[in-house]
Structure 1
């Protein structure tokens, strides 16, 4: 019996060491398809929720905090550095109770509204269409406006398009000029409703498909590069019937994209703390994050059936981690740890690798809400681990996808397992190759081997985002606890790159 136990124990140790020392090979998939990773995959989301807008992005022109037209200058700089390609606004659930004319004209004349979705707070509408679109101009980000279908009308949406896009000749263009803006903003990205299966009206897919057709028909279209890009409110997670109906019932000429929403939540009844979590909670959160691969694949299969030429895009315009609101904080405020960095890295790799269909995405949300890239407290501001991942990954924006195949090692916990390593790669217009690698395993480093002959790479440099504990996060007192540092755990021999990825870390390599 003792001998059997000893043999079993030795076998376990051998398997464990073998697993740790295994080098995983990443191979380049040869293809004629020259897929471009659309920069809009790296989009963001700003809803009238908690302190995302008021007390976050927008402090008002009379604030002691340095600002441009009421928008914090430190946030402007941080978002410019992030290369935010688009910003979705005003929601979310808020969008389908928002009437845009309440937020234009002299601020003293704008009516206050009750935010019925998020805490019943009263808002004075001081941040409206002009303020948002002017901010997007400063950021160099394309605005993505979410139209009110739930409680609005086709006419209201039609007039909003005219207000922001018509040069002259329309009552709405004249109203814009009266409000101090001579030239139109030429907004092309438009959401036609939001979560119509839920807070947008609790509709069936069939009902919404017909309603979408009505709204889209009356949206005055532009020409050429100013043509409207209309995004239909899409499925909640694995509601594949929803996507099936939209693709089947909406004529292709009326829709440019369908949306998808998915949050990395392990248990919607008890989401748990953003900072006080154990390995089981971490594992289940990562399981939910990795499910994005399955969702994108299966929704894409449905879309391919009706649109084999891939003319209709998939836009994942809400994604990220969602935990319990911190005690005493504003609505949906949560801290941002290395767990969130893992969510961001894994998810962005999925989007990159499916860039033939996924043409846009929006992390929820940009400041002080859910998986925010920035947190504020009065005059203080801190960049989160998620911010750093998004910045490390922005090298993929508008770069050509390099298709890869990987047989990932397993992250094993409590007899459950997940793929531990995630990878995506691209080549930019300057000829630089970038490879993004994520290891979600909490305990083990993982070794990855990549043959560089196909890529012609001779020199490599890299950055890594890591920390001592997965629960670590940046604070206002210690804002740089987690930040990218130079990475050198790799070697090249005979055109073979071998990389050692630390536990729960994100690595981005640049080669030329």
Structure 2
């Protein structure tokens, strides 16, 4: 098939927030320990204990924001156990009952953010913590003077850090609290009063309230009705599955029907954003309150032979297609969705990076983020996603350049697209494709470059028309000067 897209009027439809390409790292499996943190005395090259190869890779994709420390883990996390020279270990009841050393804590997290150039997003402990504990934490991070600032200086960091986002609780409708939306709304109204910026030179903290369990539209209605005036964002979590929750399917060796079922699940993101947006608009018609999709991605069975609670899964060209499709959905709803954080950055779920001792590889999903980074803070011209169409795309403009990203979700059919611009086009300055012949093609430590970006030349420019031919299961990004 050939799809025709006419953007000759070049109407701007909003701005693509750079935060749509955020990351999420939780204390889970080897996501932090071994994945990000190896310690200052490790033989693995590191910067203050943080893996240099991981830092370099994350800098390359321009990570805009990093959510931490959870997730589920955040609701058993007590930050004072993770500062100073002597740290109190924690039994991680959230994920596998492993012993959490607390070697990676607040100071290390902000060091990581500074090294990769990302803004900070803390999820505070609402379920088992206290308001006093939270306010001490915020003071420790942002206060230029005072007792917590003195404690921070004693621990090696004199100046306050910049704190951009704070999430008040995580999935409080589930095992984090089993709360009703009415109870959570009242609790949120109380806690958010004390989410304060202690540094007068910094902007107020962006406050994110706990949003619904996937399609719990009543939760969104109640929380927005009771507390919308006290929040800047409302969270939403949605993971792609190949079947039921307890029949997720595997990352590799899957049947063709599992490609289709995972794609169907991923595309539900479009529906969820639309429907929750309608409920939000009842109380906030101008969308001052933004939707924050701070957990998303493919959640499949753990790799055979690994701890099920560590959620380590391979990452294939299928995951790359799902990631591109989801990013195009976020672009479609750019007027509402301000931030999205894929789960998770290293070694967990749909990760950017896999590590094994001193080895590191980049996943197919990493390369999607590498292509899509050019859309960060660009003007949106058009974005498209539809359940019945194998093609979805984002077209934006930034610094006098068009950025065109197109995904062919078909597992076995090529598809073409023709885009009509308002004037004659120049030659692309960037043209890359991600493609693999096998449905479950992936990178391994024996073959780390099996799926990677390649130069893309299968296009034609005829005056104002850009004609692109896409192989099955492929993603293309092109940058064309105005």
Is the shorter-chain TM-score for this pair beyond 0.5, marking a shared fold? Answer: yes
SS of the aligned residue for 2:211 comes to strand
RMSD: 1.6
Instruction: Confirm or deny that 1:81 pairs with 2:60.
Output: yes
Matched, 1:273 2:250: yes
SS in 1 for 2:451: coil
Q: Does 1:396 align with 2:345?
A: no
**Alpha-carbon distance, 1:32 to partner:** 6.5
Q: Which stretch of structure 1 is more off in the superposition, 480-489 or 24-33?
A: 24-33
Q: What is the CA distance between 1:124 and its match in structure 2? A: 1.4
Alignment coverage as a number of residue pairs: 476
Distance 1:185 1:33 in 2: 35
Q: Deviations over 1:76-98 (max 9, x none)?
A: 10000011011111000000010
CA–CA distance in 2 between the matches of 1:382 and 1:459? 32
Deviation of 1:419 (Å)? 2.3
Deviates more, 1:299-308 or 1:121-130: 299-308
Residue 445 of structure 1 deviates from its aligned partner by: 0.5
Report if the CA contact (8 A) 1:364-1:370 is conserved: yes
- After TM superposition, the runs of 4+ consecutive aligned structure 1 residues lying more than 4 A away are 29-34, 222-225
- The match for 1:458 is 426
1:181 equivalent in alignment to 2:157? yes
Match of 2:418 in 1: 449
Tell me if 1:371 matches 2:337.
no
Determine which of 408, 422, 429 is the counterpart of 2:392: 422
Secondary structure of the structure 2 residue equivalent to 1:262: strand
1:399–1:427 contact (8 Å) kept in structure 2:
yes
Hey, what's the Cα distance between the residues in 1 that align with 2:477 and 2:99? 43
CA distance in 1 between counterparts of 2:237 and 2:436 reads 30
How far apart are 1:226 and its partner, in Å?
2.3
**C-alpha separation between the residues in 1 aligned to 2:21 and 2:139?**
28
Where does residue 88 of structure 2 map in the other structure? 111
In structure 1, distance between residues paired with 2:248 and 2:332: 29
Between the aligned partners of 1:488 and 1:68, the Cα distance in structure 2 is: 39
Q: Which residues of 2 match residues 328-347 of structure 1 at below 5 A?
A: 328-330=305-307, 331-347=310-326
Quick one: distance in 1 between partners of 2:319 and 2:207? 30
Change (3 A) 1:251 1:333: closer
In the alignment, structure 1 residue 440 sits paired with structure 2 residue 417: no
Map of 1:318-357 to 2, 5 A cutoff?
A: 318-330=295-307, 331-357=310-336
- Structure 1 residue 459: Cα displacement: 2.2
Residues 187, 226 of structure 1: 8 Å contact kept: no
Q: Write the distance in 2 (CA, Å) between the matches of 1:487 and 1:238.
A: 39
Task: Kindly indicate whether residue 366 of structure 2 is the aligned counterpart of residue 387 of structure 1.
Answer: yes
Matched, 1:57 2:26: no
Give the superposition deviation at 1:48: 0.3
Which of 212, 217, 232 is matched with 2:188 structurally? 212
Structure 1 contact 48–94 (Cα < 8 Å) conserved: yes
- The 8 Å contact of residues 162 and 202 in structure 2, kept in 1 or not, is answered as no
Distance 1:205 1:251 in 2: 13
Superposed counterparts of 1:217-228, under 5 Å: 217-221=193-197, 225-228=202-205
Go from structure 1 to structure 2 and tell me whether the alpha carbon gap of 1:224 and 1:290 turns closer, same or farther (over 3 Å shift). farther
Question: Alignment partner of 2:190: what SS?
Answer: helix
Distance in 2 between the 1:32 and 1:442 partners? Answer: 33
What's the TM-score, normalizing by structure 1? 0.90
Question: How big is the shift at 1:494?
Answer: 3.6
Deviation at 1:30, TM superposition (A): 5.6
The residue aligned with 1:497 is 466
Query: C-alpha deviations, 1:24-50, integer Å up to 9, x for none?
Result: 112339687651111111100110000
1:192 equivalent in structure 2: 168
Matched residues in 2 for 1:384 and 1:236: separation? 29
Cα–Cα, structure 1 residues 173 and 206, in superposed 2: closer, same or farther, change >3 Å? same
Q: Aligned with 2:172: secondary structure? A: coil
The equivalent of 2:76 in structure 1 is 97
Distance 2:88 2:139 in 1: 22
SS in 2 for 1:41: helix
Structure 2 residues not aligned, in runs of 5+: none
Change (3 A) 1:178 1:389: same
Q: 1:218 and 1:443 mapped to 2: Cα distance?
A: 54
Unaligned runs of 5+ in 1: 1-21, 409-416
- 1:23 equivalent to 2:2? Answer yes
1:201 aligns with 177
Which of 301, 305, 317 does residue 294 from structure 2 map onto?
317
What do residues 195-241 of structure 1 show as CA deviations (whole Å, max 9, x unaligned)? 11112211111111111111101222365752100111111211111
Q: Please give the per-residue CA displacement for 1:408-463, whole angstroms capped at 9, x wherever unaligned.
A: 6xxxxxxxx842110111111x2111111001111111111110126x53323521
1:405 Cα deviation (Å)? 5.7
Aligned residue in 2 for 1:244: 221
In 2, Cα distance between equivalents of 1:316 and 1:487:
31
1:404 is displaced (CA, Å) by: 4.7
- 1:73-128 deviations in Å (ceiling 9; x for gaps): 0001000001101111100000001000110111xx21111000111001111111
| Residue 484 (structure 1) aligned with residue 453 (structure 2) | yes
